[in-house]
């Protein structure tokens, strides 16, 4: 189905999201930082990016700004993920270009629903 980039500095999050996404027939690639994610995007086309908000060096907001500034990726669906209870985070994420925002922990059902919604954005653009 879709190829999804997971960006998070926590290996257990990579494993959990990969397991959930592979169960619904998606393939994943992972990056542990914003700079690594930018490199992955340049070298390996993806259909969707899921990024954590709280990462060292380049947080999820800064990563989204860089992705949206690149003409090649300006329409890439992005899901922002955070474990924090920052009240302003969903609004800021939307302003920075996130298509959806999820607070951890998330269920397989919720992840599947949001991924499906974001992937339908691609279908809507090409059709």
CATH number at residue 13: 3.40.50.2300
Whether 17 is covered by a domain: the verdict is yes
pLDDT reported for residue 43: 94
Q: Which domain holds residue 9?
A: 1-28+43-82+94-106
Number of separate domains in the chain: 1
CA 120, CA 118: separation in Å to the nearest integer? 5
- The residues of the chain scoring below 50 in pLDDT are 126-127
Q: Residue 38: its pLDDT value, please?
A: 97
Of 44, 30, 122, 17, residue with least CA distance to 76? 122
How many angstroms separate the most distant Cα atoms in the chain?
Answer: 38
Q: Where are the beta strands (DSSP E) in 22-114?
A: 27-31, 48-52, 78-82, 100-103
Q: Pick the closest to residue 24 from 112, 100, 113, 118 (CA basis).
A: 112
Residue 102: inside a domain: yes
């Amino acid at each position: 189905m879709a190829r999804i980039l997971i960006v998070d500095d926590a290996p257990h999050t990579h494993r959990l999201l990969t397991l959930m996404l592979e169960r619904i027939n998606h393939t994943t690639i992972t990056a542990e930082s914003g700079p690594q994610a930018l490199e992955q995007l340049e070298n390996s086309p993806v259909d969707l990016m899921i990024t954590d908000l709280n990462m060292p060096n380049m947080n999820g907001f800064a990563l989204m700004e860089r992705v949206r500034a690149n003409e090649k990726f300006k329409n890439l669906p992005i899901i922002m993920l955070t474990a924090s209870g920052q009240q302003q985070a969903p609004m800021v994420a939307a302003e920075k270009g996130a298509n959806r925002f999820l607070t951890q922990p998330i269920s397989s059902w919720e992840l599947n629903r949001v991924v499906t919604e974001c992937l339908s954005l691609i279908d809507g653009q090409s059709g």
